[in-house]
Amino acid sequence: RKEVEQDPGPFNVPEGATVAFNCTYSNSASQSFFWYRQDCRKEPKLLMSVYSSGNEDGRFTAQLNRASQYISLLIRDSKLSDSATYLCVDHLSGGSYIPTFGRGTSLIVHP
Amino acid sequence: NAGVTQTPKFRVLKTGQSMTLLCAQDMNHEYMYWYRQDPGMGLRLIHYSVGEGTTAKGEVPDGYNVSRLKKQNFLLGLESAAPSQTSVYFCASSYLTSGERETQYFGPGTRLLVL
């Protein structure tokens, strides 16, 4: 069983919409999470870190819910350029600092 | 600052052939990783290294070997390629992790087709 689970989607939304993805993790001791963005046939790139207190960067907000063991990514006012696959990462896997990636959630923003 | 580079970008192999993928980083990172990415499977860790001269197995190490003779380079070897190793291979690096959040920097990937 994958330790980090994501809904693969695709999430198909119009421009300007608000969309949210969740990512569940199984290691209750995990404390360090990230969201990466991956464009088609490109390498993943860091989008943002996920802090216990939440993290906001422009139109993007990341939250951590320890009680339910999931992290979320909220994108407001979606742009066409937001179309990509979003990967969540648990940076503490099995007690060692080896990242575990989710399989990614595909987002398609249409005009 | 080139970041993380990978060589080659694309390769076609016949079953049983061998090859080495090279990853180089110029950020003085301690940690380096090799992943493979297949449709529907996400990124899976093959091997990783926490410093020069050290390597360790990841989630899917079978059929691969690695070496980290220099801090800036991490080599991934396929001794006898199989069609199941057709994939996109990503190398990544990060600073030494000591309980703090550290991001990974990825190379552009190597697309490998094994016939």
Confidence at A49, pLDDT banded by 50, 70, 90: confident
Residue B62: partners with Cβ closer than 8 Å, 6 or more residues away: none
Q: How many beta-carbon contacts under 8 Å exist across A and B?
A: 45
How many CB atoms sit inside 10 A of residue B52's CB? 14
Q: Are B76 and B64 in contact (CB under 8 A)?
A: yes
What is the pLDDT at residue B6?
A: 98
Mean pLDDT of A87-105: 80
Quote the percentage of chain B above a pLDDT of 70: 95
Quote the percentage of chain A above a pLDDT of 70: 93
B51 CB neighbours in chain A (<8 A) are: none
Mean pLDDT of A71-97: 87
Mean pLDDT of B64-70: 97
What is the pLDDT at residue B1?
A: 73
Residue A10: partners with Cβ closer than 8 Å, 6 or more residues away: A106, A107, A108
**A44 CA: distance to closest CA in chain B (Å):** 6
d(CA B36, CA B87): 6
Mean pLDDT of B69-83: 96
Mean pLDDT of B12-26: 97
pLDDT in tens, B21-66: 999 999 999 899 999 999 878 899 999 998 999 999 998 999 999 9
B102 CB neighbours in chain A (<8 A) are: 91, 97
Chain A residue closest in CA terms to B57: A98
What is the pLDDT at residue A30?
A: 79
Mean pLDDT of A52-67: 91
Q: How far apart are the first and last CA of chain B?
A: 36
Q: In the predicted model, what is the mean pLDDT of chain A?
A: 90
Between chains, do A44 and B43 touch, taking CB under 8 Å as contact?
Answer: yes
Confidence at A52, pLDDT banded by 50, 70, 90: confident
Chain B residue closest in CA terms to A46: B103
